[in-house]
Amino acid sequence: MTTIDLTHGRPLKKILLFALPLVGGSIFQQLYNFIDTLIVGRLLGIDAVAAVGVYYPLNFLILGFIQGSCLGFSIPLSHSVGKGDDQESREFLTNGTWLSLGLAVILTPVMMLATRSLLVALNTPASILDLAVTFTLISFAGIPANVLYNYSADALRAFGDSIHPLYFLIVSLVLNIGLDLLFVVGLHAGIAGIAWATVISEFIGGLLNLTLFWGRRRPLQIRRRDWCLRGTRIKRMSIIGLPMGLEYSVSAIGAIIMQDAINLLGPTIVAAQSAAEKIR
């Protein structure tokens, strides 16, 4: 596994080598949304663009919370790796896995059950409500895939490997484009196909991250007893991770309020704002 030891050597060089793939990863994650909107607009029309646009403030709220939490869960792990404590690293890695699984188990059914009510509360235009419900429902069904990718990528970075999560993100982005075209053009799945393409490609990206933990180059030898829940580890990761999740998602409140106002202007304006937002 390609890792960078940040505890030795010239700090500036090490930080830049570690940080640049993170910048690239942020860009490619934005391309997910941009390309989805591009394909939707070209192949499915303006109402579908508007339906996708209505979903993204909710995406910002929930998936932002997941991204921030998973990043926070990995911070104690990175501390343990830095001081060379393999036993503590194993415990933080496995207990972080349990915490991430808990996020997926709680958030997925809650958000799926609340989908239509949330979209109605946001004054989603009636002409695109069913399309928006379909896209949002499938996207929320994919919350476990998002948790899998984010926590596995953050765990790899905790071991000093920021390049493989970028490689795997690029692979999943290319796969997403191919699945978009397959589902929409080949299978005529419409907006549901766009949503499923994102979920599937993200899930595969997460599995690729896992190959580095369970393959020949795994950084730790995980044993059965390492999977025991440990209150002190859970508490420390929760204290760091959950506030970070809230910090990531709180700015989505403004986006939701703005989306509520934009929705009142009709699907054409919603689509225009959605397209402009992806470029921004």
What is the Cα–Cα distance from 204 to 161, expressed in whole angstroms?
Answer: 19
Give the pLDDT band (50/70/90) at residue 215. low
**Residue 217: what pLDDT?**
54
All structural domains of the chain with their residue ranges: 11-279
How many Cα atoms within 13 Å fall on the side-chain side of residue 149? 25
Give the pLDDT band (50/70/90) at residue 69. very high
Collapsing DSSP to helix, strand or coil, 32 comes out as helix
Give the pLDDT confidence of 129-183 residue by residue, as tens digits.
999 999 999 999 999 999 999 999 989 888 888 788 888 888 988 898 899 889 9
Helices 143-158 & 86-121 angle (0-180, nearest 10): 150
Both tokens assigned to 225: 């007893």
Contact 194, 135 (CB under 8 A): yes
Output the average pLDDT for the chain: 86
Question: How far does CA 70 lie from the centroid of its chain?
Answer: 9
Collapsing DSSP to helix, strand or coil, 132 comes out as helix
Give the pLDDT band (50/70/90) at residue 4. low
**Residue 73: what pLDDT?**
92
Q: DSSP letter at 219?
A: S
**Residue 2: what pLDDT?**
59
54: part of which helix (H) or strand (E)? Answer: helix 46-82
Q: Report the candidate in 259, 245, 276 with the shortest Cα–Cα distance to residue 154.
A: 245
Q: Is 224 exposed, middle or buried (0-12, 13-18, 19+ CB in 10 A)?
A: exposed
Q: Report the candidate in 134, 154, 65, 60 with the shortest Cα–Cα distance to residue 106.
A: 65
What is the Cα–Cα distance from 117 to 181, expressed in whole angstroms?
Answer: 30
Cα-Cα-Cα-Cα torsion 78, 81, 86, 90, nearest 10 degrees, comes to 20
Q: Report the candidate in 157, 274, 147, 259 with the shortest Cα–Cα distance to residue 206.
A: 147
**Residue 203: what pLDDT?**
94
Contact 258, 274 (CB under 8 A): no
**Residue 216 clears pLDDT 60, i.e. is over it:** no
Give the pLDDT confidence of 84-130 residue by residue, as tens digits.
888 888 888 899 999 999 999 999 999 999 999 999 998 999 889 99
Amino acid, res. 156: L
Give the pLDDT band (50/70/90) at residue 273. confident
Both tokens assigned to 201: 């490609």
**Residue 138: what pLDDT?**
94
**Residue 17: what pLDDT?**
76
* Least confident span in 76-80, 184-188, 213-217, 270-274: 213-217
Give the pLDDT band (50/70/90) at residue 221. confident
Contact 76, 237 (CB under 8 A): yes
**Residue 5: what pLDDT?**
66
Give the pLDDT confidence of 23-57 residue by residue, as tens digits.
877 787 777 778 778 888 888 888 888 888 888 88
Tell me the percentage of the chain whose pLDDT exceeds 90: 30
- Max Cα distance, the chain (Å): 60
Contact 16, 157 (CB under 8 A): no
Give residue for tokens 């060379």.
Answer: 84
